Chain A
Amino acid sequence: MKRFAWMILAPFSVQLAVLLAWYLLARFQVFPQTLLIPPLLVWRTIVDLWNSGDLQTHMGWSLRRVALGYGIGAGAGIAVGAALGSSRRLEAWFGPTLDIFKQVPVFAWAPMMIVFFGIEESSKLAFVAVACFYPVLLNTSQGVKSVQRKLLEVGEVFGLSPRETFLRIVVPSALPAVLTGLRQSIALAWMAVVSAELLGAESGIGFFMTYSRQLFQMDGVLAGVLLVGVVGIATNALFGAAQRWLVPWTREVA
């Protein structure tokens, strides 16, 4: 119990110290108000945004984009990854091509997506989908490949149908790796959405930050950074919980 308290309190004390330093720096205006404002003011901004409904609107847009783009990209990643992982032949023919495209830094695709799909919704979704695709693909194919031969042989001995083999041997064996990929991808998806919105949008939390910055509203910028961070931390925690729930037998290494 004492150990537990120590584990929570030690990092928490650092957080408190940072908050205090932030408060003092802002309180005594070490930096001009255009650069730093007190933490309480940022909190009040967030509350105001919530009450006016702006927060829900922008966050809603951003999360909708994450959900759709992630659905497309991660879905494609699982499908292609499973195919490449289960067939040596497919891997030999298609693997290197996918490797070539993987070399391109994700953000470099954004301008191309804008040219292809315009500045509207579809270019953002396409960009998010591309960003999600590779981590899921790589982990899935790794997971499917790592299914042990002897397990498959046991399945054969027990006379399992292909469908049963898939559901009862392949899926449980590959699941930990797939979930790792999904977790890496959701972080990328969030980052991709925010950057797509920074690059040009009329809604979403990224847009809100750029808008506030252009109006020199420091409270809006700081509130945006905070909200983006909270969502990042929350989704990661959510996926961690899902991993512990779905594959409790593996030690977490994501």
Chain B
Amino acid sequence: MIAKTISVAKGMVLPVLLVAAWAAWTSRHESLLFPTPWKSVVATMDLWRSHSLQGYLVTSLRRYALGLSIGTTLGFATGALLGSSRIAERFMLPNFNMFRQVPLVGWIPLLIVWFGLGDLSRVVLIALASFFPILLNTHAGFRQVPRGYLEVGEVFGLSGWEKVVRISLPAALPWIRTGCMLSLTFGWTILVASELLTQSNGGLTDILDTGREQFRMELVNAGIVVLGLLGFAFNFAATRIWSIGSLRWRSLNIHQSNQAE
């Protein structure tokens, strides 16, 4: 316990020193590029008081939630299909593996032409981003179910569907969990990209855009802190939620394979 406290304290020394140095330096030589950290706090509070921050937050989270739920649902379904059918695997998996190496931001101009500059483009992009991690991990999870389990199921006379629901799915859950977490993280990254690149209207990156356009560095700094904190919160929440309950004994299985083997 004490050892842990000490190691956390050690790690916090540098960040505290950095902020202190930043504050000390900027209080003497304040410039446009290097405003005091205090200004960022004030800017954030102003955003909060004028209710703009809440508005940004709701808009971004709505896009994120919508894209994520579409992407992970489709990804999970496809992964389960590829995991339980050899034929589907043969036909589709190499294509998915190839397709996912196309950089997502490369789709943005095309999505804008097809779906306009509105929310639809962004939601499609986030859905695409969250589709692949969960697909590949669900597939891998289904594939690693020990043959023996399925044979026992056969002995008990389970139907094909029952085998999937009662054997493969529970055995694959730790992998699916990993896929979910990767989808969550990557979806968040791509949300930021999609908002920046489609001239976001009303999302969190508006803080960054306003800061850049009006040359208010304190807003840029504040925006980065807000986005970082939210990303951290999602990661933290996801890890916590998933470690509750029956999955606790399993370690994280990470499958990020690019390659059809």
Say yes or no: A35 contacts B113, CB within 8 Å. yes
Number of interface residues of A (CB under 8 A): 56
Which chain B residues (15-39) contact chain A, with CB distance < 8 Å? 15, 18, 33
Q: Which residues of A sit under 8 angstroms from B235, Cβ to Cβ? A: 103
Q: Which residues of B sit under 8 angstroms from A253, Cβ to Cβ? A: 255-257
Say yes or no: A104 contacts B106, CB within 8 Å. no
Interface digits, A14-41 against B, CB 8 Å rule (1 contact, 0 not)?
Answer: 1100000000000000000011000000
Say yes or no: B228 contacts A97, CB within 8 Å. no
Say yes or no: A116 contacts B33, CB within 8 Å. yes
Say yes or no: A236 contacts B101, CB within 8 Å. yes
Interface digits, A91-104 against B, CB 8 Å rule (1 contact, 0 not)?
Answer: 01111110011011
Which chain B residues (206-226) contact chain A, with CB distance < 8 Å? 208-209, 211-212, 215, 217, 220-221, 223-224
Shortest beta-carbon distance, A65 to chain B, in Å? 14
Shortest beta-carbon distance, B207 to chain A, in Å? 9
Stretch in B92-100, B131-139, B175-183 touching the partner: B92-100
Within the assembled complex, what's the spacing in Å between the Cα atoms of A149 and B156?
48
Say yes or no: A228 contacts B102, CB within 8 Å. yes
Contacts A109-B224, A221-B109 given: A11-B188 contact, CB under 8 Å? no
Say yes or no: B11 contacts A104, CB within 8 Å. no
- Show the binding face of B for A, using Cβ within 8 Å: 7-8, 10-15, 18, 33, 90-95, 98, 101-110, 112-114, 188-189, 191-193, 196-197, 205, 208-209, 211-212, 215, 217, 220-221, 223-224, 227-229, 231-232, 235, 255-259, 261
- Show the binding face of A for B, using Cβ within 8 Å: 6-7, 10-11, 13-15, 34-35, 92-97, 100-101, 103-112, 114-116, 183, 187, 190-191, 194-195, 198-199, 209-210, 212-213, 218, 221-222, 224-225, 228-229, 232-233, 236, 240, 252-254
